[in-house]
C-alpha cells in the first residue's frame, strides 16, 4: 500500500537527503512494514512544490511507554526522489511521476 502524505520543506529535505530516516505521524492509517510513504513537499503558502520522494516502511514503533497514544514512529528507507515538476501548469506528485513501483530498488541496493 502507498500512503500519500504532505511534508514540510525542512523535513522533506532531510528525508530526501537520507539524514532523517524516520517519520512520526498520527496513526490514522493502517501503516504496515513493507508499505510505502509517498512524501510530497508542501508549504502552507504555496501548496505542493512538486518535489516528492518514495520511502519503504521498514519498522514501526508504537510502544505506548515511549510513543504518545495515537501516534506511530516509522523507520523508512529511501526508494526514489522526484524533482519538482509541472505538466501543463499542474503540479505533479510522486504518484503522478512514477508508474511502476514494483521496479524500484532501495537507494542502498543501487550502490
104, part of any domain: no
CATH code of 72's domain: 2.30.130.30
Domain that holds residue 33: 2-98
Count up the domains in the chain and report the number.
1
39, part of any domain: yes
Query: How far is 1 from 34, CA to CA, in rounded Å?
Result: 8
103, part of any domain: no
Residue 80: pLDDT band with limits 50, 70, 90: confident
Query: How far is 57 from 2, CA to CA, in rounded Å?
Result: 10
Based on DSSP, count helices (H) and strands (E) in the chain, helices before strands: 2, 7
pTM of the model: 0.76
59, part of any domain: yes
Q: Which of 27, 81, 28, 22 is nearest to 50 (CA)?
A: 81
Instruction: Give the chain's mean pLDDT.
Output: 83
111, part of any domain: no
pLDDT in tens, 41-53: 999 999 999 899 9
Amino acid at each position: 500500500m502507498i500512503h500519500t502524505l504532505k511534508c514540510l520543506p525542512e523535513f522533506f529535505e532531510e528525508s530526501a537527503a537520507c539524514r532523517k530516516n524516520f517519520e512520526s505521524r498520527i496513526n490514522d492509517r493502517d501503516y504496515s512494514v513493507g508499505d510505502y510513504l509517498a512524501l510530497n513537499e508542501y508549504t502552507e503558502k504555496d501548496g505542493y512544490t512538486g518535489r516528492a520522494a518514495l520511502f519503504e516502511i521498514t519498522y514501526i514503533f508504537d510502544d505506548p511507554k515511549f510513543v504518545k497514544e495515537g501516534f506511530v514512529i516509522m523507520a523508512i528507507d529511501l526508494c526514489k526522489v522526484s524533482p519538482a515538476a509541472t505538466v501543463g501548469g499542474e503540479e505533479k506528485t510522486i504518484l503522478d511521476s512514477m508508474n511502476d513501483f514494483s521496479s524500484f530498488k532501495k537507494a542502498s541496493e543501487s550502490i
